[in-house]
Structure 1
Amino acid sequence: MKKALIVTYYWPPAGGPGVQRWLKFVTYLRDFSIEPVVYIPENPNYPLLDKSLVAEIPTGIRVLKQPIFEPYKFAEIFSRGDSKTISSGIIAKEQEQSAIQKLMLFVRGNFFIPDARKFWVKPSVNYLKSVLEKEMFDVLITTGPPHSLHLIGLELQKNLNIKWIADFRDPWTEIGYHKKLKLTRSSRQKHQSLESEVLSKADHIITTSYTTKAEFESKTTRPIRVITNGFDKLQEESITSEDFEISHIGSLLSGRSPDILWKAIAEILEDDPTFRNKLKIRLAGKISSEVKESIEELGLQKYLQIEGYVSHKEALELQNRASILLLLEINSLETRGIIPGKIFEYFAAKRPILAIGPENWEAGKMVLDTQSGTYLLFGDKEKVKSWIKDQFYQKESQGTKRMNSDISQYHRKELTGELADLINKI
């Protein structure tokens, strides 16, 4: 049986989408004759917690740990709320940032390169070097963000010549929020230099989207494979809400919230009393203040229910009772390759998906390709309005629609098989 050493920051009890990918790969790797050993921080400062995920760690998995210095813990002394929010990736618009937020973003972008977990690199290299000198591993895998973890792989490869796979769950210098970090020219060049070194030295690179793959292919000649995120099992059909629930599960950033959606809903409410009696807008996860304000300005607050952060199990239950599932992305070139992890569990819920995002959005095309719903642009208010009305009237006459889409290629075990094939080839 081959052995893989997996370096990841996010691991149960961490919550949010970052933990799911490698928790599930680890769950299925043994089925492909690969024994995973996981290396994680001993005392992480996770912005989100979901203790229910601890029960999903496979029995007998060996987990190595070393302490980490977390600057975010000190930032909480000045502003716990701002520290948690920025750490979660929710960054307010420039004109609405407080002085402390602007300072924290400047420090985050220019003093912690590539990110605030950089202080874990050196002690991790020292510790793992001793482990790798005593034990035989066939491959080392690092997964980011945080992209500082790839620097651990870079140093270990230099010292020990071990085969190394760098897994990018998100882009590095091209990710949307990078421009909001108030980077100086030298800091921007440092990010680019580190990214270039990782991309040129890793034996193989994994991305979660073809857009990111194409971006990296312009920067390196190293082999790149796309292995998307996925779902663990189809959700069983259950009794759905009597209300017409339009639901979004996960963090909702200000730029990710299209005003045309809320305007379309407001116009339907004005014209249709039946819709007024049945509508519920349910948002679960971290919601930016700008999103709440844009909904309230249109008088929709009486229909709005904010759940806050929910466990993974609760998120699945909310998806399963929804009439429409919202998949929203910031309208920019940088986000065309972003495929939110939630899309795969949306697929598994078999509920109609309303995807609104940038032109040529990879996730939107996946919704259309799997026949799981519709994909519209930020300027398509009338189309959004018409589609929501169609879904509402269909539920009124026939009940909640269950999509008949073939999504088997996105099952976590199928995707782990692709990873195992790559490990065997490398």
Structure 2
Amino acid sequence: MRKVLFIAFYYNHNNEIASKRLQGVAKYLSAYNWVPIVLVPKIEGINSQKSNIKIVETDYVDMLDKFLPSKSNSQDNSKVSSNSNSSSIMSKLFSKAVSIAGEIFAFPDGMKYWYEPAFNSACQVIEDENIDAIISSSFPITAHVIAHDLKNKYNIPWIADLRDLWNLNPYINHNFIRNHFELNLEKKTFSNVDVLTTTTQKAAETLKTLHPQSKIVPVYSGYDPDEFKHVETIKRDDKLTFMYAGSLYGGKRDPSILFDAVRQLIDEGKVEGSKISINFYGDKDNLVELVNSYNLEDIVNINGKIPYEDVLKREKSSDVLLLISWMNPKEKMFIPGKVYEYLAFKKPVLSLGYKEGSLKDLINETNIGHHTSNLEDTKKVFYSFYKEYIETGKVSYCGNENASKYSMVETARSFASILDEELK
């Protein structure tokens, strides 16, 4: 068995979507003759995973902890400012100051002070354990900076996994000065990398425009089969039940097309509202006002945030699972992590989002449901689900054999194959 050092900042953060890919890769690598040793920061309140995987915790100081006042001082200051009419203004000024400081000091990220303890611990692990290769995963970028220097020192194969792109990430905006330094750092950091991986083919193609000489391989994420084996179903209303769980990102993920489709189908007499339930879990992001504008208060249930375990139970107990993504070309390269849960539950999917891209490709490839981007198509799909439910009492799942490849077992196999290839 060969050994790989896995630099994975968010590995222990169960409430972060990033942990799913990190934990899944580490868990199943050993099935392909690679033993991972995971390097993580020791953070108060974040406990190490209980498993057979070796985890090395390092010292860690967050950038904010290093520069901001202590909690006790902050509490004292808050008592003083709460008695002042200027507290709101001071709060806004403080937020603005933190934002500006972040552009300057959080380069390449707020975890930059992890570098020294992590690098030192990594050197010890490489030498003591006879490590054969390195995988680093971002965010944070600091993980790749550490791996870059380890590669220079030990000259062993290194895979840099970008769960999200770095400078080519369409959702990150810096000022032009920060952009200049950030771009130079990315090129320097990956100058000695053996393989770059990312999560979709379109993301890999985008990354190739910045690193044309690098070997770039898309490695898709997936679900961990073990996580879904014992999820219970719960009692629900005798209605056609749709469910969405997650963030709406300040309205970027907009369910208006769905609400408009349902409203029109009801008004046209094709759908009976009393036989439908649409459940939202997560942040509310003006959902109440939006639902009221379509007069769907008796159909759309806004439930707020619930524990992840309860989300899974409700997903398993629903008829159709909803995906809502941004109607923007920037979305083309992304696949939301939620779709992998839906694959695990073998539930039909109604996806609303940009007209083309990685998500639509996956849905079409696996036949797990329908991806729509306009009102008429959404009406047709919704009505087809409704008609089948009224006639048969259920909505059929039609996923094909391609759906099975989107599991963490396959994700780990892909990483192992790349490692094997690099050590030939």
The question of a shared fold, defined as TM-score above 0.5 by the shorter chain, is answered with yes
1:11 corresponds to which letter in structure 2?
A: Y
Tell me: CA distance 1:25–1:373, structure 2 relative to 1, closer, same or farther (3 Å): same
**Counterpart contact for 1:247–1:282, Cα < 8 Å:** yes
One-letter amino acid matched to 1:231: Y
Matched-pair contact (CA < 8 Å) for 1:284–1:310: no
Choose the corresponding residue for 2:319, options 306, 318, 323.
323
Aligned to 1:85: none
How many Å apart are 1:291 and its aligned residue? 4.5
Gaps of at least 5 residues in structure 2 are 76-90
Matched to 2:329, the amino acid is L
Indicate whether 1:424 and 2:415 are aligned. Answer: no
| Equivalences for residues 154-233 of structure 1 within 5 A | 154-179=148-173, 183-220=174-211, 221-233=213-225
Corresponding residue for residue 301 of structure 2: 304
How far is 1:36 from its partner? 0.9
Whether the 8 Å contact between 1:110 and 1:184 is mirrored in structure 2 is no
Query: Which of residues 276, 281, 285 is equivalent to 1:284?
Result: 281
Deviation at 1:304, TM superposition (A): 1.7
Change (3 A) 1:356 1:100: farther
Q: Which residue of 2 aligns with 1:66?
A: 58
**Superposition RMSD in Å:** 3.0
Counterparts of 1:352 and 1:76 in 2: how far apart (Å)?
50
SS of 1:137's partner is coil
Cα distance in structure 2, aligned partners of 1:178 and 1:34: 34
Superposition map of 1:73-152 within 5 A: 102-152=96-146
Higher mean C-alpha displacement, 190-199 vs 17-26: 190-199
Paired residue for 2:370, among 368, 371, 374?
Answer: 374
Paired residues, number: 395
Q: Does the aligned pair in 1 maintain the 2:148–2:190 contact within 8 Å?
A: no
Identity %: 22
Q: Which residue in 1 is equivalent to 2:252?
A: 255
- Compute the TM-score of the two structures, normalised by the length of structure 2: 0.84
SS in 2 for 1:162: coil
Residue in structure 2 matched with residue 37 of structure 1 by the alignment: 37
User: Residue 353 of structure 1 aligns with which residue?
Assistant: 349
In the superposition, the TM-score normalised over structure 1's length comes to 0.83
Give, as a single letter, the amino acid of the residue that structure 2 aligns with 1:381: L
User: Hey, what's the Cα distance between the residues in 2 that align with 1:76 and 1:375?
Assistant: 49
Unaligned runs of 5+ in 1: 81-96
Deviation larger for 257-266 or 150-159? 257-266
Q: CA deviation at 1:160?
A: 2.5
Alpha-carbon distance in structure 1 between the residues aligned to 2:74 and 2:271: 45
1:342 aligns with 2:342: no
Q: 1:372 to 1:134 in 2, by over 3 A?
A: same
- Greater Rg, structure 1 or structure 2? 2
Secondary structure at 1:15 match in 2: coil
Distance 1:341 1:43 in 2: 25
How far apart are the structure 2 equivalents of 1:309 and 1:166?
34
User: Is 1:386 aligned with 2:380?
Assistant: yes
Q: Distance in 2 between matches of 1:166 and 1:343?
A: 24
SS of the residue corresponding to residue 272 of structure 2 reads helix
- Structure 1 residue 163: Cα displacement: 1.8
Residue 305 of structure 1, CA deviation: 2.8
Alignment equivalent of 1:413, drawn from 383, 393, 409:
409
AA matched with 1:123? P
SS class of match (1:205)? strand
